[in-house]
């Protein structure tokens, strides 16, 4: 029986912005501002200035955008609220470069047959070891680069 052209997803990763880590970080920052305001009798404008870094985190917590990456027999795709969506057929991918940076974060770049380079956004990037295994299982060439300066 035909699947109607719909392929099953070989690898799928998604995450939302509303995480316990973000909630705890925002809570600790707010408690710190409260302690500084009450214990040290800080003026209101100092408390407001210290509260400004909370705004982007509160905005992410309220909106809760979802980032997703999928790899199946048809192609590689990712979607993010910040960067939109990208779909690349597997036959257009020359190789995928996985870099480890000096701050121990990871970066993935898709190199296409036409020479174009597409960086996978950090919020769409899954844990690198499982992602590399999925890429190898999909018969894609993977280049690993550790601690490159440029």
Could you tell me if 95 and 109 are in contact, meaning their C-beta atoms sit under 8 angstroms apart?
Answer: no
Domain spanning 82-146: CATH 3.30.720:
yes
How far apart are alpha carbons 115 and 98 in whole angstroms? 17
pLDDT tens digits, one per residue of 65-82: 999 999 998 999 999 888
Whether the predicted pLDDT of 149 surpasses 80: no
pLDDT tens digits, one per residue of 107-121: 899 999 999 999 999
Q: How is the chain split into domains, by residue range?
A: 16-63, 82-146
Whether the predicted pLDDT of 94 surpasses 90: yes
* Beta-sheet strand order (sheet of 75-80): 9-16, 66-72, 75-80, 84-89
How far apart are alpha carbons 46 and 81 in whole angstroms? 33
Could you tell me if 80 and 124 are in contact, meaning their C-beta atoms sit under 8 angstroms apart?
Answer: yes
How confident is the model over 42-65, as a mean pLDDT?
A: 92
């Amino acid at each position: 029986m035909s699947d109607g052209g719909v392929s099953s997803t070989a690898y799928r990763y998604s995450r939302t912005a509303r995480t316990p880590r973000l909630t705890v970080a925002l809570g600790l920052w707010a408690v710190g501002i409260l302690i500084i305001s009450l214990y040290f009798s800080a003026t209101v404008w100092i408390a407001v200035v210290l509260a400004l870094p909370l705004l982007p985190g509160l905005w992410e917590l309220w909106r809760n955008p979802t980032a997703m990456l999928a790899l199946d027999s048809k192609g590689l795709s990712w979607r993010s609220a910040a960067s939109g969506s990208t779909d690349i057929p597997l036959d257009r991918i020359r190789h995928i470069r996985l870099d480890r940076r000096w701050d121990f974060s990871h970066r993935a770049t898709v190199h296409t047959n036409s020479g174009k380079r597409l960086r996978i956004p950090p919020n769409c990037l899954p844990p690198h070891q499982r992602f590399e295994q999925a890429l190898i299982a999909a018969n894609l060439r993977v280049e690993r680069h550790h601690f490159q300066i440029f």
